[in-house]
Structure 1
Amino acid sequence: MTFAATSNAGDHRALIISLFLAFVFATLAVTVWASRQTKDATDFYAGGRSFSGFQNGLAISGDYMSAASFLGIAGLIALSGYDGFLYSIGFLVAWLVALLLVAEPLRNSGRFTMADVLAFRMRQRPVRTAAGISTIVVSIVYLIAQMVGAASLVVLLLDVSGDGAKRWVIALVGALMILYVTVGGMKGTTWVQIIKAVLLILGTLLVTILVLFKFDWNISSMLGSAADASGQGQKFLEPGLKYGKDATTQLDFISLGIALVLGTAGLPHILVRFYTVPTARAARTSVLWAIGIIGGFYLMTIALGFGAAALVGSDEIKKSSASGNTAAPLLAEEVGGGAGSTGGAILLAVISAVAFATILAVVAGLTLASSSSFAHDLYANVIRKGKATEKEEVAAARLSAVAIGGVAIVLSMFADKLNTAALVALAFAVAASANLPTILYSLFWKRFNTTGALCSIYGGLVVSVGLVVFSPVGSGRPTSLVPGSDFHWFPLENPGIISIPAGFLLGWLGTMLSRDRASEQKYAELEVRSLTGVGAH
């Protein structure tokens, strides 16, 4: 793929690269500083439970507002209009499920990972193994989305072309994320996420103001111009452009909506954030702050997406990235003064640096969640049977971060043509299929047992990942993971409509058909923990 040079004037290249590198080095400095504060496993996994509700709310926002939010959704709105904005609505509404059902009881019941809660009243080794595998799979799918976004962004920024350049960028992002996690742990990752959240909101707000200024603060005028520039006319502003062509695309939209709304409450890198605060009240406070910050951001994606459609145009966006991942940076350059101008170059560099920071913060959080699960659940409790020291656990987490990062790097090199928001939606579907049913059943169903947990996790994983492999995402299209082949038979791009009910059904079926009898005493103790937090930490 060749990237257009319209967005990078050669005489401003040094300025762009300097601003970009300055931010990377600043965040690395924060990570090194945080590493000196990390003294034990609680510091590495949970940041010493030292963050306030407001700080954790910012960090959750930084973790959640990923490349899919900033790059992917802006691109989807710019290319698909109203249907692209549906992603913003789904990502935001999902937080209500996390707040009402998961945040407080999960924080009260576990120490470091989701498996602490799931394994409490069940057989430790099989449940921790299943939870660890699920965490790693979901994290890797999510990591792929972030690295694809990073590749599109940096290739645009440096004005290079070709798949080889993208792969070098993906490898660089992977190396940086591994460094953040292995050096800084949860403290370093959290502070990077806080800084990134503040910069992302400020950067998005600046672009939003400049876009609205271009249209004399008239949102209707902006939407009208976007519709005219899209070539679709009024259809661009109405439902159905992407998901209303036939019954299959309509079902795909329902599947997407279910995955987005339910997926957040099962995402490992979001769940571990609830362990970084000292009290359940702080956990609730952090989610409320996150909802407010994230809600404001997603409202501004209207200006990012429709502004890009109106001012940059879908043809220019597609020249740069067929899936629309570079719409936001191109818009920043346009409202800053246009290609070749100093203002355009500065704003392009600033927004690109913020977007890159977004990616680094999220990939660090994902890598930390998956490596923590490997070290704490698989290594310490399954392989070493609870006999590993804290020092050995942390060492295992750092080594696993390298391994998981390596796998994500390799897989990302085959997914560079997919939209980042669509990739994240797949991660949401897998999380909602495997993790969410098991979490809810463990917390709220007295009869739920080990067999049910294993059926729910493994069944949800196999169904969701299997359907993705045999969907148009896997093959059959130029933008598929395997573009030269066609072995897909599942027609939907998102498997949520099938895999999420399957996860719940398999968990119920496994419990009802099993001869295992869950301990009522253990359930009563878990119920007390989930409500009060007594005995969990």
Structure 2
Amino acid sequence: MSAVVRTATEQIGDPLVNIAIFGAFVLVTLVIVFRASRNNRTAADYYAAGRSFTGPQNGTAIAGDYLSAASFLGICGAIAINGYDGFLYSIGFLVAWLVALLLVAELLRNTGRFTMADVLSFRLRQRPVRMAAALSTLAVVFFYLLAQMAGAGGLVALLLGIDDRAAQGVVIAVVGALMILYVLVGGMKGTTWVQIIKAVLLIAGAGVMTLWVLSKYGFNLSDLLQGAIDQAGEGGEALVEPGKQYGASAMSQLNFVSLALALVLGTAGLPHVLMRFYTVPSAKEARRSVVWAIWLIGIFYLFTLVLGYGAGALVGPETITSAPGGVNSAAPLLAYELGGTILLGIISAVAFATILAVVAGLTITAAASFAHDIYANWLKRGEVKPDGEVRVARITVVAIGILAIVGGIFANGQNVAFLVALAFAVAASANLPTILYSLFWKRFNTSGALWSMYGGLISCIVLIAISPVVSGKVDPTTGASLSMIRDTSIDFHLIPLENPGIISIPLAFLLGIVGTLLSKEQPHPEKFAEMEVRSLTGAGAEKAVAH
């Protein structure tokens, strides 16, 4: 069976059908973006969509922002190849939302205006804290953008039948140009509607495929798992047992703990997710939006379990790994196996829409951080008109878009999982400790914030740079490089740990304590008391938002 399917995957589907369906999606969403943009008059309109979205609408948009191409394509492939260990990604991403709901969602909404730095600067010195927060935000967004843009290039190989790297670079540029247009014109309101539409399409498409796969096995999950085991051949039982990917050695188990720590804690520090809490009119709606997001994301990740094992059973691990897109091709190959060219076209369009929506959300976050934190509050010391700030944000969108296109072209074909893991690790290291200390620790001061943010950011990036993910990781069977640097003769890794979370996250928490205690800066208990009341009750939050 695998040989037959492999032959089909060389000419999988009809590229014209894929482009036509994707083009239809782009046209519809562009119309919506242009309509939404007519009310963009103030900074609150551009950054926070005028705070006009309900909890369910914002929750759906959060799901659209969070369920990236890595969630759909990457996790399905991970489950198809590694079974139980692949599904641990889904569990980690979902559990992360409980941390976001319990610790940050409502509190951030009550104490901030547009960005994470608004919360931190409430009781700390504005200029140094805003600069540190903006730099960490831009670092997270940049690496996340690289992953999405590089993912676009990887998808092209399978979905449009383009193997040439230069042609894939052109597609990356087209995705980037569309993303710039969405954000430039629509702001947060247009971006939010794109994310809502994309979330509905993605969850509906995954749901249809899930029911289709289960129908082939009489809606019996045990039969589906047995099918995946049989298709995998010798050693197939490992697919339903823990340890296939992360149980080979003590170091692989440590890598998993480190990765899980970054994923679970990183979500509560992701700037593009945190920014979504400001698009609702009240703290209650912020709380409702996270609950909606948890339900939608949880249902989707249950779908990935069936889709992953379904791809393993109906397509086969060997076929998936030999396809042009590698493990990321599992979901499209399953769609082609189930519904032929049309279903593949729909799923491929949804995959492209996923990338488009996520990069749009990331871009407006980076633009808001630069224009609001660095330009308006650091350079201009708050003395800038809202329309001037929005104008700088739009210029920033173009600059970031061009940077993402260039970076994506260079990163095309490289380890996309590394880029996503780095974004989560940076968010968990640089952002989360400072947010939590600022919200809950009365003694915390500016020195502690700077130590924590810069220490977490620098240590995380340095540890990644000297890890096997960048150089020195070789496939023991083929001898091919599995690192970002493809030349196996270049090896400068100093530590065997592939994800820095288990070191950089505790270090950032510790640096926050050390920096605070060593500083002679006097705490401001009255500001902390005001912040505590506002964060827990919402009292005064609406007044602050109006200014």
TM-score bracket, shorter-length normalisation: over 0.9
**DSSP-derived class of the 2:483 partner:** coil
CA RMSD of aligned residues (A): 1.6
Q: Which residue of 2 aligns with 1:474?
A: 470
- The 1:267/1:84 distance shift into structure 2, 3 A limit, reads same
Instruction: Say if 1:72 and 1:419, in contact at 8 Å, map to a contact too.
Output: no
- For residues 366 and 523 of structure 2, the distance between their equivalents in structure 1, rounded to whole angstroms, comes to 28
- The 1:317/1:506 distance shift into structure 2, 3 A limit, reads same
**Identity across matched positions, percent:** 62
Q: Work out whether 1:509 is the aligned partner of 2:517.
A: no
Q: Work out whether 1:277 is the aligned partner of 2:256.
A: no
Instruction: Say if 1:182 and 1:398, in contact at 8 Å, map to a contact too.
Output: yes
Pairing 1:3-152 to 2, within 5 Å after superposition: 6-7=8-9, 9=11, 12-152=14-154
Q: Which residue of 2 aligns with 1:439?
A: 435
- The 1:49/1:422 distance shift into structure 2, 3 A limit, reads same
Pairing 1:325-474 to 2, within 5 Å after superposition: 325-336=328-339, 344-418=340-414, 420-474=416-470
Q: Which residue of 2 aligns with 1:527?
A: 532
Aligned AA for 2:521?
A: D
**DSSP-derived class of the 1:413 partner:** helix
- For residues 135 and 64 of structure 2, the distance between their equivalents in structure 1, rounded to whole angstroms, comes to 25
Identify the match of residue 317 of structure 2 among 314, 325, 328. Answer: 314
1:357-408: CA deviation from partner (whole Å, max 9, x where unpaired): 1111111111111110000000101111111111111111111122222222
Instruction: Say if 1:414 and 1:482, in contact at 8 Å, map to a contact too.
Output: no
Aligned AA for 2:400?
A: I
Instruction: Say if 2:259 and 2:501, in contact at 8 Å, map to a contact too.
Output: yes
- The 1:258/1:481 distance shift into structure 2, 3 A limit, reads same
Aligned AA for 1:251?
A: L
Shift of 1:427: 1.4
- For residues 420 and 300 of structure 1, the distance between their equivalents in structure 2, rounded to whole angstroms, comes to 23
- Unaligned 5+ segments in structure 2 are 1-5, 474-480
Shift of 1:490: 2.2
Identify the match of residue 289 of structure 2 among 280, 286, 291. Answer: 286
- For residues 10 and 238 of structure 1, the distance between their equivalents in structure 2, rounded to whole angstroms, comes to 32
Shift of 1:420: 4.4
Instruction: Say if 1:155 and 1:169, in contact at 8 Å, map to a contact too.
Output: no
Aligned AA for 1:392?
A: G
Bigger shift: 517-526 or 416-425?
Answer: 416-425
Shift of 1:416: 3.1
1:141-166: CA deviation from partner (whole Å, max 9, x where unpaired): 11122122222223322111132222
- For residues 96 and 421 of structure 1, the distance between their equivalents in structure 2, rounded to whole angstroms, comes to 23
Aligned AA for 1:298?
A: Y
- For residues 320 and 423 of structure 1, the distance between their equivalents in structure 2, rounded to whole angstroms, comes to 22
**DSSP-derived class of the 1:241 partner:** coil
- The 1:10/1:461 distance shift into structure 2, 3 A limit, reads closer
- For residues 331 and 179 of structure 1, the distance between their equivalents in structure 2, rounded to whole angstroms, comes to 32
- For residues 483 and 170 of structure 2, the distance between their equivalents in structure 1, rounded to whole angstroms, comes to 21
Instruction: Say if 1:108 and 1:280, in contact at 8 Å, map to a contact too.
Output: yes
Identify the match of residue 177 of structure 2 among 152, 175, 178. Answer: 175
Identify the match of residue 536 of structure 1 among 538, 541, 544. Answer: 544
1:328-359: CA deviation from partner (whole Å, max 9, x where unpaired): 111111111xxxxxxx1100010111111111
Aligned AA for 1:257?
A: A
**DSSP-derived class of the 2:268 partner:** helix
Instruction: Say if 1:417 and 1:479, in contact at 8 Å, map to a contact too.
Output: no
**DSSP-derived class of the 1:173 partner:** helix
Shift of 1:422: 4.9
- The 1:323/1:426 distance shift into structure 2, 3 A limit, reads farther
Aligned AA for 1:26?
A: V
TM-score, normalising length: structure 1: 0.95
Count residues in correspondence: 527
Q: Work out whether 1:494 is the aligned partner of 2:499.
A: yes
Shift of 1:5: 7.4
Aligned AA for 2:505?
A: I
- For residues 242 and 395 of structure 2, the distance between their equivalents in structure 1, rounded to whole angstroms, comes to 47
Instruction: Say if 2:154 and 2:413, in contact at 8 Å, map to a contact too.
Output: no
- For residues 230 and 417 of structure 1, the distance between their equivalents in structure 2, rounded to whole angstroms, comes to 26
Shift of 1:106: 0.3
Shift of 1:421: 4.7
- The 1:77/1:422 distance shift into structure 2, 3 A limit, reads farther
Q: Work out whether 1:237 is the aligned partner of 2:240.
A: yes
Instruction: Say if 2:13 and 2:341, in contact at 8 Å, map to a contact too.
Output: no
- For residues 233 and 8 of structure 1, the distance between their equivalents in structure 2, rounded to whole angstroms, comes to 26
Aligned AA for 1:201?
A: I
- For residues 32 and 268 of structure 2, the distance between their equivalents in structure 1, rounded to whole angstroms, comes to 29
Q: Which residue of 1 aligns with 2:478?
A: none
- For residues 77 and 410 of structure 1, the distance between their equivalents in structure 2, rounded to whole angstroms, comes to 31
- For residues 436 and 13 of structure 2, the distance between their equivalents in structure 1, rounded to whole angstroms, comes to 56
- For residues 151 and 6 of structure 1, the distance between their equivalents in structure 2, rounded to whole angstroms, comes to 21
Aligned AA for 2:262?
A: A
1:98-138: CA deviation from partner (whole Å, max 9, x where unpaired): 00010001000000000000011111111000000000100
Aligned AA for 2:204?
A: L
**DSSP-derived class of the 2:328 partner:** coil
- For residues 228 and 10 of structure 1, the distance between their equivalents in structure 2, rounded to whole angstroms, comes to 25
- For residues 135 and 389 of structure 2, the distance between their equivalents in structure 1, rounded to whole angstroms, comes to 17
Shift of 1:419: 5.6
- For residues 281 and 257 of structure 2, the distance between their equivalents in structure 1, rounded to whole angstroms, comes to 38
1:141-193: CA deviation from partner (whole Å, max 9, x where unpaired): 11122122222223322111132222222222222211111111000000001
- For residues 326 and 215 of structure 1, the distance between their equivalents in structure 2, rounded to whole angstroms, comes to 22
Aligned AA for 1:69?
A: S
Shift of 1:412: 2.5
Aligned AA for 1:68?
A: A
Q: Which residue of 1 aligns with 2:264?
A: 261
- For residues 142 and 65 of structure 1, the distance between their equivalents in structure 2, rounded to whole angstroms, comes to 13
- Unaligned 5+ segments in structure 1 are 337-343
- For residues 375 and 406 of structure 1, the distance between their equivalents in structure 2, rounded to whole angstroms, comes to 17
Identify the match of residue 486 of structure 2 among 483, 488, 500. Answer: 483
Identify the match of residue 213 of structure 1 among 212, 215, 234. Answer: 215
Shift of 1:423: 3.4
Q: Which residue of 2 aligns with 1:304?
A: 307
Q: Work out whether 1:191 is the aligned partner of 2:193.
A: yes
Aligned AA for 1:444?
A: F
Shift of 1:10: 8.2
- For residues 65 and 11 of structure 1, the distance between their equivalents in structure 2, rounded to whole angstroms, comes to 25
TM-score, normalising length: structure 2: 0.93
- For residues 157 and 269 of structure 1, the distance between their equivalents in structure 2, rounded to whole angstroms, comes to 28
